[in-house]
Amino acid sequence: MTKHTLSADPRKLTGRKVKSIRHQGLTPANVFGKDVKSQSLQISTPDFLKLRKATGESTLIYLNITGEKEPRPVMVHEVTVDPVTDHVLHVDFHQVNLKEKTTAPVAVKLTGESPAEKEKLGILVQQLHEVEVEALPADMPESIELTVEKLVAVGDAIYVKDISVSSKLVIKTDPESIVVKIEALAKEEPKEEPVAPAVEGLPAEAEVNECEATEPAKTEESTVPQTPAPAK
């Protein structure tokens, strides 16, 4: 397993004054832990972003703080991000005891190709993107790979209980939770036939013709005057 390290310096500025260090390419941070006094730090923003891209929240990081002889084993506890710019504003590190088990979220990465999706029988939907794992910090994986090659039909699913991991790991997430499932393809709704719009304002001549067409035709008998019978 790759050993990840990150350098940090003690930070004196707090509160609103930390804005000034962000302009210098630094990110305010804090480290805390069991029986550990909380300490304010500042770290290189580019270095942290590079590390964050290559690892996850469950990754063990050795934090080299200026003035300290030994690096501190930590995990990323929380990253505060600006909702508008997406820039990292603050990082909290949790210092861990390498001899004590800890729990952390571990990403689930899907591998392979589902026959059901390949043959366009259904669509693959990942419902769970991470699981809670308990392990010693040094044994905590960055991610868990899960193959989907056994999903061959609509309704097929892989549950948390189906994930195989090392005996050093314990998955704490509900075993009956669905990680990934093949859902049916959405049915296309039948297209409605276009309805011709009603014609408004018929010409007067057309209205007259229409009326004439609807009136019953007068018989010849009703139009010819009858001759009175001669007197006897």
Tens of pLDDT, residues 113-131: 999 999 999 999 999 999 9
Does residue 150 share a domain with residue 85?
no
Does residue 138 share a domain with residue 74?
no
What is the domain range of residue 136? 103-184
- Average of per-residue pLDDT values in the chain: 86
Q: What is the pLDDT of residues 24-61, one digit of tens each?
A: 999 999 999 998 999 999 999 999 999 998 887 789 99
Please tell me the total count of domains within the chain.
2
pLDDT band at residue 219 under the 50/70/90 scheme: very low
Which of 70, 96, 122 lies at the terminal end of a domain, its last residue?
96
> Over the Cα atoms of the chain, what is R_g?
38
Whether residue 218 is contained in a domain is answered as no
Please give the backbone phi and psi of residue 225, each rounded to the nearest 5 degrees, phi first: -70, 140
Residue 214 makes CB contacts below 8 A (sequence gap 6+) with none
Whether residue 232 is contained in a domain is answered as no
As a whole number of Å, the end-to-end CA separation of the chain is 136
Given phi > 0 = left and psi -120 to 50 = alpha, else beta, which region is 152? alpha
The whole-model pTM stands at: 0.71
Which of 160, 184, 208 lies at the terminal end of a domain, its last residue?
184
Q: Which residue has the higher pLDDT, 213 or 177?
A: 177
Calpha distance 168→133 (Å, rounded): 10
Does residue 108 share a domain with residue 76?
no
For residue 225, the tally of other CB atoms under 10 A from its CB is 5
Q: Coil, helix or strand for 127?
A: coil
Q: What is the pLDDT of residues 129-161, one digit of tens each?
A: 999 999 999 999 989 999 999 999 999 999 999
